[in-house]
Every structure is written in structure tokens, then in C-alpha cells.
Structure 1
């Protein structure tokens, strides 16, 4: 069977619309078509990435999901100390969005705004033009899940899912590190479990952005954790650390 010849019909249609088909640059037409298809593919990929980023962020391990909706604009500055903390946090956010990778530590007393500013950084990134994915994980909640998971497989599976998210994200906030050490009833077995979990997390987070919030001082963290854990998760550079000395924001 001979191939269908559309040359005649195409010429008649072109003539009907006043188009001289002989003046059409077929190569240019095909090039433009390929460019349109490439742009559509990029658009689809970006949309798909946004959906994945949003889903990952919304699956964060946090006690109150509403706390994920905190932004720099919500931070009320009432003294010089808070102004310094706020400016350092926004600077860190900008550096991360510019491609900087490393460890950042927010340390200070409870209620001083550490977690709020850490979440604000994540939201700043999520609303930017970067493709960085973000995740928030309460360390105490994850630790409890893994301990319960020793005897409860369904909880163990949930803990594995959280660890997968921690492994996958570009920017992680690991919240309230060190709080578990305040539990006086913690046994050596539980302490070893904690260290083992942190070793895994630290291994996942090599060459990525890690923001750790803690109520403990640097010296206290070094006494609590294995030196390798401390080295892999805690900021070494002074401009990557914020010491929160302002008043308790929960009383404002």
C-alpha cells in the first residue's frame, strides 16, 4: 500500500487561508515545536517537584501542624536581642537559598523563638524560586516512635517513613535536640538507642543543610553525645550559630 500523500490537501488548505506553503521554513517550524515541547516538559517537571516538596513539608513530624505555618512576618521584635536573632536567621535563610550547605545551630532557653525562626526559614525557602525540599522533625517525637517501635511494628514503620523523609530532604530542621537527656529515668540501653538513632540521622545528612534547635549549650551537647554526632550535626562556624538570649516569647 502506497503511503498517503498529504501534499495536495495541505497546499489546498494553505491556499484557502492565503498561505504560501513554499515560503514556510519547515526546519524552523519543527525547531519551534521542539522548543514548545521542551518548555512544557520543564513546566510539568517544576509543577511535579512543587507538589512533591509540599507533600514532604506537610508530612513533617511536629506536635502541632499549625506550628508549620510560621513566617518571618509573624515574629514580633520587642528588644535588641530579638532583633539580632531575627537578622541572623534571615541571613541564614538567604545564604541557604543562595546554595550554601552546612550545619546551623539555634541554642537557648525554651520559648525564646528558636523553633519559630527555624520554621520561618523553611517557609521562606518553600515560597522561594529554589527547588530545595524542606522537612521538620521533632527529635523527641522521633525517638519515642523508635522506642515504641521496638515492640510495635506499625510504629516502627512510621519511624522508618520519617527517617526516609529526613534522608530525602535538602533542608532539615531537627528540633529540640538534647531534651531527651533531661529524662532522669533514661537507662543506658535507652541512651545507646538515642546515640544509634542520631548516628543514622547524621549519616543521612552529610553534605546537606541541617538546622538544629536545642535548649542545651555547646558544652552540654558535647557531654551528652558521641563526638562524631556532635561534629556532624552541630555548627562549627560562629556565623552559623544563633544564641538566643531574649525573653520567653510565650509570655509576650
Structure 2
């Protein structure tokens, strides 16, 4: 430990340094020895310290880069069905030729999203229980793993999202405030909005989505050009529920990127009793 005597800094440990006649084969300087320690080269030691410091900086940069990109999917996604979290292309069960074709199309579109400058929305539509959400999440996972540069991907269930945002009214410190969610969902590289339209189906007075819900969704989609949307509704039903300006944001670039399920594919969640 250092001490100050008469204005001069003293390092007692340095007084115990023992010089040796052995030279470092790498640097050609005399090696030194401390009591109870192995002989070492001071220059080699400096290089090890510098390398450790560089690694610490790189590890910190990697941590924060992952936190802002590839870790977003597992850390910030919002599911209303926990069982969906394991969904991949590999465990998707194609129960019809239509489902197989849709899986292949989803793979193709996911491949297009690997490039950061690709800008278009994808719409999964059709009957419930056919695997729309499964394939949408599988696309996110593929992009999260194989993108040409690290990307932030996020999956959110509309129902659960709106519930959390409304709950935040009572908890000012909640991370699920409207402002936080619009910022997060609006800026991630690739977003899945799952089960769009279901939030209005639970209303008793009308099927029209609430003004609050529409404002939140518009705030998100107005910032975006790369969004995957799943819905059980067709275009006519969506138009009846949502504001035309919101519809126009949903439909950005979806031509050629619509994946539709019909009754040709069995309901995977049906139960016989």
C-alpha cells in the first residue's frame, strides 16, 4: 500500500522487488521476483494487464450490444400463452399442405428480413388455432439468430400489451407505460403484433377497437416499416374495427407477404369430448 512521507510517495512493495539474472525470452529484459511469487517479466505483466483491461471493455460492449439487440426477444416479449415461447420452424407441425406451404413462405420471408434495409410488413390471417402465432415467432427467432447484423426482435400479444399499459396508470414506475411501450415497439428492428383484433372482440358494446387502443397501435406502427401481424380477421373485418390511417400503416408493403390459413388446415387446439 502506498504512503506519503515528506511530500514523496513511497511504495513499500517496490522495496521488496528482487532483480534476477534471468532475461525474458520475449522482451530481453531482466525478470524480477517478489517474495512468495514466481519470477516474472515486468513487460509481460504489463501486457497481461492491458489485455485483461481490453477484454473487460469488450465484454461490457458485448453485453450492452446484446441487451439492445438479440436479448430483447427473450427479455421484453409479451406473451399471453407461455406455451408459445418454445415455437420454432423445426417443431411446427404442418397438418395440411396449406400449412406446409405457409411454413415455407414464412421461412422465405424471414430470410428477406435478415437484411436490415428490407422494409415491408407481413400479415398472417385466417382461422384461429392454425399456427399463425407459432410461425410468426419462428420467423423472429430465425432473424434473431441469423441476421446479417445483430437485430432487436420483439413479440407482443395485443391483449396482454394493452392490459399491461392500462395497469401502468396505477403504477407510475411501471416499465409498461404507454410512452415506454410505443418507444420500444416503435424502434425494434422487427416486431410481431400478435392476435390483432382480439382486443375488440371482448367488448360488449361494439366490435370497434377503443380509441385508446387505436392510438397506441398507431403510435407504434407509424414509426415502423418492418412488422409481422397476426389476426383472425379478414380485410373487411379489420376495416370495420380500425381507423383507415391505422389500416394504411398495417398494410405497408404487405403485397406478396400475406400468409393465409383456411379451413383446409385443421384447428390444432380443438378438443373432442
Shared topology, TM-score over 0.5?
A: yes
Residue in 1 that maps onto 2:90: 73
The equivalent position to 1:218 in structure 2, one of 227, 230, 235, is 235
1:57, 1:133 within 8 Å by CA — same for their partners in 2? Answer: no
Cα distance in structure 2, aligned partners of 1:55 and 1:202: 19
The equivalent position to 2:159 in structure 1, one of 136, 140, 146, is 140
Aligned residues: 228
What does 1:10-159 correspond to in 2, within 5 Å? 16-17=23-24, 45-52=61-68, 53-55=70-72, 57-99=74-116, 100-129=118-147, 130-149=149-168, 152-154=169-171, 157-159=174-176
- Going from structure 1 to structure 2, the CA distance change for 1:155 and 1:215 (only over 3 Å counts) comes to farther
Alpha-carbon offset, residue 133 of structure 1: 0.6
**Which consecutive residues of structure 1, in runs of 5 or more, have no partner in the other structure?**
1-12, 22-33
RMSD of aligned residue pairs (Cα, Å): 3.4
Larger of the two Rg values belongs to structure:
2
1:135, 1:165 within 8 Å by CA — same for their partners in 2? Answer: no
- What CA deviation, in whole Å up to 9, does each residue of 1:60-118 have, x standing for no partner? 11123342221100011232101110011001110001232221110011101000000
Alpha-carbon offset, residue 159 of structure 1: 2.8
Residue in 2 that maps onto 1:237: 254
Which structure shows the bigger proportion of residues in helix conformation? 1
Which structure shows the bigger proportion of residues in strand conformation? 2
2:194, 2:231 within 8 Å by CA — same for their partners in 1? Answer: yes
Cα distance in structure 2, aligned partners of 1:190 and 1:225: 6
- Going from structure 1 to structure 2, the CA distance change for 1:133 and 1:83 (only over 3 Å counts) comes to same
- Going from structure 1 to structure 2, the CA distance change for 1:148 and 1:18 (only over 3 Å counts) comes to closer
2:182, 2:216 within 8 Å by CA — same for their partners in 1? Answer: no
Cα distance in structure 1, aligned partners of 2:73 and 2:108: 24
Residue in 2 that maps onto 1:167: 186
The equivalent position to 2:199 in structure 1, one of 167, 180, 186, is 180
Alpha-carbon offset, residue 144 of structure 1: 2.8
1:106, 1:243 within 8 Å by CA — same for their partners in 2? Answer: yes
**Which consecutive residues of structure 2, in runs of 5 or more, have no partner in the other structure?**
1-19, 29-49
2:122, 2:257 within 8 Å by CA — same for their partners in 1? Answer: yes
RCO comparison, higher one (Cα < 8 Å, 6+): 1
Describe the SS at the equivalent of 1:159. Answer: coil
- Going from structure 1 to structure 2, the CA distance change for 1:19 and 1:74 (only over 3 Å counts) comes to closer
- 2:268 is equivalent to residue 249 of structure 1: yes
1:77, 1:83 within 8 Å by CA — same for their partners in 2? Answer: yes
1:70, 1:116 within 8 Å by CA — same for their partners in 2? Answer: yes
- Structure 1 length normalisation: TM-score? 0.75
Describe the SS at the equivalent of 2:176. Answer: helix
Cα distance in structure 1, aligned partners of 2:122 and 2:184: 19
Cα distance in structure 2, aligned partners of 1:59 and 1:145: 13
